[in-house]
């Protein structure tokens, strides 16, 4: 079933379907709110249960990872169900807020929760070894390479906003779901390719990751300016200007967090450990 939405002059979508598509879409959204809430509770419950069951054989799971996972899942749920998700069909500015939550903030929060590490801890040893071999495969190496992840992430955004794909996304529910899944998945892969928080298949140099992050941030910034100057199909100029500004400043803030985290991880990796400092001091080197 096709559901046609177009932005009106006020920046809101207007319905052009003949058979009550507007009310059908909104009833679908309200049903999705309940499903989203249940999925939110399920994701949090499974994570907490997995962390608690591993206490017997491993160190206790830190509280900040529980909080990070919960906040990340909440960002995802706000983006796909509830008032903000529904209003994103009418307001381009709210759509861009969903873009920031789902594609940038949620991936960072979930990455800091270390879900892959927790999964390996919770799985039986034979299954964990099989998964570990998969994570070390060449295919996974390629997917989480910083350059490849950046192309999937930033390139996908350019394709969405600079072609008719954005307009088509609001006509087909399946396409809408696929694009939003890609937005989160690409953001998550990009985050873990830059920040080695969780287990990773292969580590790349700090210089490589820093250059990739800077270029990706530049691509994101240029795209926001392109949206400001050349609105996507069906989006009035005023709405595009507001959305482009939100994308520019909001995205820039998240990218600054990524840059700070990357530099902090690098500094920690090159700094001597407390034990090493004691050895150096006793030997008279420092």
pLDDT in tens, 61-120: 899 999 999 999 999 998 988 888 888 888 899 999 999 999 999 999 999 999 999 999
What is the pTM for the complete model shown? 0.82
pLDDT of residue 234: 82
pLDDT of residue 187: 96
Task: Judge whether 55 lies within some domain.
Answer: yes
Mean pLDDT value across the chain: 83
pLDDT in tens, 114-148: 999 999 988 888 888 898 888 888 888 889 899 99
Q: How many domains does the chain have?
A: 1
pLDDT higher than 60, residue 4: no
Task: Judge whether 10 lies within some domain.
Answer: no
Rounded CA separation 103/73 (Å): 12
Closest CA to 11 of 274, 231, 282, 247: 231
**Residue partners of 280: CB distance under 8 A and separation at least 6:** 272, 286
pLDDT of residue 71: 96
Task: Judge whether 151 lies within some domain.
Answer: yes
- Give mean pLDDT, residues 241-270: 92
In this structure, what DSSP letter does residue 6 have? E
Q: What string of H, E and C letters represents the secondary structure of 110-161?
A: HHHCCHHHHHHHHCCHHHHHHHHHHHCCHHHHHHCCHHHHHHHHHHHHHHHH
Task: Judge whether 6 lies within some domain.
Answer: no
Task: Judge whether 248 lies within some domain.
Answer: yes
Task: Judge whether 88 lies within some domain.
Answer: yes
Residue 234, both tokens: 């069906």
pLDDT grade, residue 169 (50/70/90)? Answer: confident
Rounded CA separation 81/29 (Å): 7
Q: Which domain holds residue 216?
A: 15-283
Task: Judge whether 4 lies within some domain.
Answer: no
Pick the residue with more confidence: 171 or 256? 256
Task: Judge whether 24 lies within some domain.
Answer: yes
């Amino acid at each position: 079933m096709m559901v046609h939405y177009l932005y009106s002059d006020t920046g809101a979508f207007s319905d052009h379907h003949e058979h009550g598509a507007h009310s059908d879409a909104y009833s679908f959204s309200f049903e999705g709110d309940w499903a989203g809430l249940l999925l939110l509770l399920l994701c949090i419950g499974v994570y907490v249960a997995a962390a608690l069951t591993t206490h017997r054989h491993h160190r206790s799971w830190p509280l900040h990872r529980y909080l990070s996972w919960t906040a990340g899942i909440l960002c995802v749920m706000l983006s796909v169900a509830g008032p903000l998700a529904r209003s994103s069909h009418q307001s381009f500015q709210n759509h861009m807020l969903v873009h920031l939550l789902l594609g940038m903030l949620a991936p960072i929060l979930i990455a800091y929760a270390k879900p892959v590490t927790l999964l390996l801890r919770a799985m039986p040893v034979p299954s964990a070894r099989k998964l570990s071999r998969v994570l070390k495969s060449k295919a996974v190496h390629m997917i989480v390479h910083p350059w490849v992840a950046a192309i999937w992430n930033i390139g996908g955004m350019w394709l969405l906003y600079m072609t008719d794909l954005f307009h088509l996304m609001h006509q087909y529910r399946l396409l809408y779901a696929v694009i939003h899944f890609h937005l989160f998945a690409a953001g998550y892969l990009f985050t873990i390719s830059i920040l080695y928080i969780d287990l990773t298949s292969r580590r790349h140099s700090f210089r490589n990751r820093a250059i990739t992050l800077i270029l990706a941030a530049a691509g994101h910034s240029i795209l926001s300016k392109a949206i400001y100057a050349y609105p996507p199909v069906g989006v009035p100029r005023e709405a595009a200007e507001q959305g482009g500004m939100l994308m520019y400043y909001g995205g820039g803030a998240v990218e600054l967090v990524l840059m700070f985290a990357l530099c902090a991880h690098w500094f920690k990796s090159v700094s001597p450990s407390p034990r090493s400092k004691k050895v150096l001091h006793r030997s008279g080197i420092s």
